[in-house]
Amino acid sequence: MLYIGHFSFDEVGTKQEIRHGYFTAVVDTVNIERATAEFRELIHSMNKAEEMFKRIVAVYMEDIIEFHHVPGKAIVTRIQSSAGEFPKSITHNLPGIVTPGINIYGLGPDVRANEKEQSKDEYMETRIFIKFRERPTR
């Protein structure tokens, strides 16, 4: 079965500022107990090997979704709403992962084929994909 785990975390930034973030992990395994163990192992190994994960001080499991089969049509697996303007944040796709058959797609320059082309602390505003209306003004 396919398991998608959604996690949040607390971290200390490069300038010792308090930060927080979110990440998603995926695994194909036999049951929820094995998926949980795989996610735990992955997080520990990323904390040892990846610079971005070394700054994480706590990880919280938000949820794990179990798929008995992959949906034939697109579905939303998570939505989160927060108060206020969207904060500046940094995103890394597939950190430390180089696996044939796993590809990243996006609106360039939002998605880079090689994350090393971008500074680990460089903020880049994401382009609009769909715009339904103008944002309300205060």
Is the pLDDT at 114 greater than 50, yes or no?
no
CA angle 128, 84, 92 (to 5 degrees): 50
pLDDT of residue 11: 93
DSSP 56-103: EEEEEEEEEEEESS--SS---------SSSPPP----SSTT---TT--
Q: What is the value of pTM for the model shown? A: 0.77
Pull the structure tokens for residue 30. 């036999």
Is the pLDDT at 120 greater than 60, yes or no?
no
pLDDT of residue 132: 74
Q: pLDDT-based confidence at 113, cuts 50/70/90?
A: very low
pLDDT of residue 30: 97
Q: pLDDT-based confidence at 123, cuts 50/70/90?
A: low
Residue 122 to residue 110: CA distance in whole angstroms = 12
Higher pLDDT, 115 or 94: 94
Q: What is the pLDDT of residues 34-59, one digit of tens each?
A: 999 999 999 999 999 988 899 999 99
